[in-house]
């Protein structure tokens, strides 16, 4: 029997599914908590929970993960420096150091000036010991990448620092979006490397020799080496896998897939059995990227989202924390510390403080791991020592160290991954109400009772209010997703907000009510969907499907994808010569800008180069039985019937290679032939 092992490493759980590759049937499934300080522990436990495995029958392993998406949403990742040339970058961007130097090109690929390698070298000399990776983005590098290539070569000759170029990740116009994509890719390199290393460690321990594939954001697969080099392409990997999994588990070709995880809720559309791709690139955490991915809306609401009490009001935050019920199962000290918090009154909170910086008396912190290259201050060292072996509240730490709680920059330490917060979550609300109990419900009940008192509610009302807030948030995100799908707009006004509020709550206005009838079924993926999605579906007047294996839908989707690699080529006639039958032209590709004497010559070269490039990429990605498809589109301008077909503006060529992943026995056979 040919078996496939699908693994999904999420922010909270690591899921495993053993699938018969010939039938697609799920034979076994299992879960384990994701262990962020050492991912291999959670992965190993999840596979162990599958029971006995016929490891010699496993031909393929495929991994999907929300770690990249969650890292972007939560603002985590390594320290990145950005070098830009030819244009100022006006948007906020998550980098530690940035410099703008002379360079860049025009839209036709002509250099604005010579690239200033000296300025770049001096910049890196001053910060090399403060960064983990470098992102490069030069103006119109998609028309001519020579300046980014020169910068990358100079850095490689002088430093051993990972470098990411914007032109290597996208051929679309959009300097700001391409720059952000390069930065995010650089920030995610160590996160993906850690994940792949963790998986390989577990596979080696269990003597599983099948090749490892990674799910990309568009639902296709790539080999682990590509995953290390282009981790940004795994943004929305988990949600894309959930779309593929939803299709395979239900047989439905059309539907709204709602994947409720621990950290995020992801919403995507199935059309004709395939995920709809976002032509402009994925939007993550409010940032538009140039990552080719399923058109998915990701919202920072999940089972482990932080619940914050602000002056008696319940607010759902986007930060993922360890639920108290889970933490109490691991650390017996949690119950004792929660009991000490009971009866405390919350001091008035300044509303100008950002939500993520507001402290809660019943929240605790635990040490995770040291971050490479980050130098702790004296206060931070004292904090880490206090929580190195057991979780404590910030008030308790403050009493021991004499440092005011707000003097600790705990958010920064969380972002870097040195400490982890333990707090009240929607999962705790379900535990406290008895709707879902898997861990220590006592911890959740104590915290729920305390927080209910802060909100002048009883415990039952408080838990119901938290649950209702999650339901409304998910319903609102579904509506936003559908509106965007219909009109392509994300902005809305106060009137729209009022109408959305009536839709998601089913509350009437003074003289009217507002209902939305969803014409597609909702397909639920994720462990906690039974608590939230039935109400969401009722309020949107549609049917809800919760497939049998929905709790491991991402892992199922991970093992059922194909490999797909593509490149784009743009051919533009020389200025003013587009009316000629076969004019001289310029070709722009991800590797170079090249001049040709005729369109025919350029097309011949582009097709040949493109096919060779995608075949090479597909082989490196681990593909077998590769098929190549070449699409050509001519953009013409009308200038009058007497000029024939009109003015040729440009020719767009897309070359795509599609193949199935090479399975273990095929890799083994090829190695024997090579020897």
Contact 551, 527 (CB under 8 A): yes
Band of residue 669 on the pLDDT scale cut at 50, 70, 90: very low
Q: What is the pLDDT of residue 584?
A: 94
Going by C-alpha positions, the residue among 614, 607, 626, 595 that lies closest to residue 569 is 607
Q: What is the pLDDT of residues 486-545, one digit of tens each?
A: 887 777 788 888 888 888 888 888 888 888 899 999 999 988 899 999 999 999 999 999
pLDDT at 671 over 50: no
Tally of CA atoms within 13 A in the half-sphere of 63 that contains its CB: 32
Q: What is the mean pLDDT of residues 551-556?
A: 88
CA distance 311 to 352: 12
Q: What is the mean pLDDT of residues 317-337?
A: 91
Q: What is the mean pLDDT of the chain?
A: 86
The lowest-confidence range among 90-99, 284-293, 385-394, 465-474 is 284-293
Q: What is the pLDDT of residue 174?
A: 81
pLDDT at 106 over 90: no
Q: What is the mean pLDDT of residues 601-617?
A: 93
Query: Which pTM does this prediction carry?
Result: 0.73
Higher model confidence: residue 445 or residue 579? 445
Q: What is the pLDDT of residues 21-32, one digit of tens each?
A: 888 889 999 988
Going by C-alpha positions, the residue among 43, 604, 96, 595 that lies closest to residue 373 is 96
Band of residue 94 on the pLDDT scale cut at 50, 70, 90: confident
Which residues are paired to 364 by β-bridges? 393, 422
Q: What is the pLDDT of residue 639?
A: 64
SS3 sequence of 94-114: CCCEEEEECCCECCCCCECCC
Band of residue 1 on the pLDDT scale cut at 50, 70, 90: confident
Q: What is the pLDDT of residue 317?
A: 87
Q: What is the pLDDT of residue 667?
A: 42
Strand ranges for 444-494 from DSSP E:
none
Query: Between the CA of residue 445 and those of 324, 372, 423, 521, what are the distances in Å?
Result: 10, 38, 13, 35
Tally of CA atoms within 13 A in the half-sphere of 152 that contains its CB: 18
Q: What is the pLDDT of residues 244-273, one digit of tens each?
A: 889 888 989 999 999 998 878 889 888 888
- Find how far residue 67's CA is from the centre of its chain: 6
Other beta carbons less than 10 A from residue 37's beta carbon = 12
| Segments making up each domain of the chain, as ranges | 305-463, 563-674
Higher model confidence: residue 37 or residue 521? 521
Q: What is the pLDDT of residue 346?
A: 67
Q: What is the pLDDT of residue 608?
A: 95
Higher model confidence: residue 300 or residue 335? 335
Other beta carbons less than 10 A from residue 444's beta carbon = 28
């Amino acid at each position: 029997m040919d078996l496939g092992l699908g693994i999904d490493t999420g922010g909270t759980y690591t899921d495993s599914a053993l699938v018969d590759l010939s039938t697609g049937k799920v034979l076994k499934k299992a879960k384990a908590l994701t262990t962020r300080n050492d991912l291999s522990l959670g992965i190993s436990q999840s596979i162990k929970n599958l029971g006995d495995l016929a490891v010699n029958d496993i031909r393929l392993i495929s991994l999907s993960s929300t770690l990249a998406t969650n890292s972007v949403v939560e603002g985590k990742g390594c320290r990145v420096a950005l070098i830009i040339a030819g244009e100022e970058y006006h948007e906020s961007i998550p980098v530690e150091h940035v410099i703008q130097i002379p360079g860049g090109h025009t839209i036709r690929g002509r250099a604005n000036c010579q690239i200033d390698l000296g300025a770049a070298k001096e910049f890196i000399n001053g910060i090399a010991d403060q960064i983990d990776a470098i992102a490069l983005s030069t103006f119109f590098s998609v028309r001519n990448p020579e300046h980014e290539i020169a910068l990358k070569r100079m850095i490689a000759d002088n430093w051993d620092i990972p470098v990411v170029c914007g032109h290597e990740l996208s051929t679309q116009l959009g300097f700001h979006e391409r720059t952000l994509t390069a930065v995010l890719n650089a920030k995610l390199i160590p996160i993906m490397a850690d994940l792949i290393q963790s998986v390989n460690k577990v596979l080696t321990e269990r003597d599983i020799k099948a090749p490892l594939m990674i799910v990309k954001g568009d639902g296709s697969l790539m080999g682990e080496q590509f995953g290390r080099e282009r981790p940004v392409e795994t943004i929305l990997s988990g949600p894309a896998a959930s779309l593929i999994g939803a299709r395979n588990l239900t047989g439905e070709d059309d539907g709204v897939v709602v994947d409720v995880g621990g950290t995020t809720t992801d919403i995507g559309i199935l059309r004709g059995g395939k995920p709809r791709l976002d032509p402009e690139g994925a939007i993550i955490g409010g940032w538009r990227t140039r990552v080719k991915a399923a058109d998915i809306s990701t919202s920072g609401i999940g089972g482990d989202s932080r619940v914050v009490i602000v002056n008696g009001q319940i607010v759902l935050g986007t930060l993922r924390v360890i639920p108290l019920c889970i933490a109490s199962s691991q650390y017996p000290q949690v119950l004792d510390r929660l009991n000490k918090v009971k009866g405390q009154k919350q001091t008035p909170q300044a509303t100008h403080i950002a939500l993520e910086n507001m402290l809660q008396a019943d929240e605790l912190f635990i040490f995770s791991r040291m971050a490479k290259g980050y130098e702790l201050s004296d206060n931070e060292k004292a904090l880490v020592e206090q929580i190195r072996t057991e979780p404590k509240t910030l008030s308790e730490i403050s009493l021991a160290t004499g440092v005011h709680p707000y003097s600790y920059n705990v958010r920064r330490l969380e972002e870097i991954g040195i400490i982890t917060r333990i707090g009240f979550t929607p999962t705790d609300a379900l535990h406290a109400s008895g709707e879902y109990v898997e861990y220590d419900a006592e911890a959740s009940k104590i915290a729920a009772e305390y927080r209910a008192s802060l909100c002048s509610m009883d415990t039952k009302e408080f838990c119901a209010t938290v649950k209702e807030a999650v339901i409304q948030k998910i319903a609102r995100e579904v509506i936003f997703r559908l509106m965007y799908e219909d009109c392509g707009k994300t902005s809305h006004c106060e009137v729209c907000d009022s109408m959305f509020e009536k839709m998601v709550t089913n509350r009437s206005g003074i003289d009217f009510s507002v209902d939305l009838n969803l014409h597609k079924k909702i397909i639920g993926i994720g462990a906690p969907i039974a608590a939230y999605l039935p109400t969401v579906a009722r309020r949107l007047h549609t049917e809800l499907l919760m497939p049998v294996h929905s709790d491991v839908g991402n892992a199922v989707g991970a093992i059922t994808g194909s490999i797909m690699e593509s490149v784009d080529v743009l051919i533009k006639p020389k200025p003013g010569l587009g009316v000629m039958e076969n004019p001289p032209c310029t070709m722009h590709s991800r590797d170079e800008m090249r001049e040709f004497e005729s369109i025919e010559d350029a097309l011949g070269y582009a097709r040949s180069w493109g096919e060779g490039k995608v075949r090479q990429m597909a082989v490196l990605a681990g593909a077998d039985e590769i098929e190549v498809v070449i699409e050509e589109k001519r953009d013409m301008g009308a200038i009058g019937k007497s000029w024939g077909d009109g003015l040729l503006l440009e020719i767009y060529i897309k070359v795509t290679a599609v193949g199935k992943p090479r399975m273990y026995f095929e890799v083994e056979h090829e190695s024997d032939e090579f020897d």
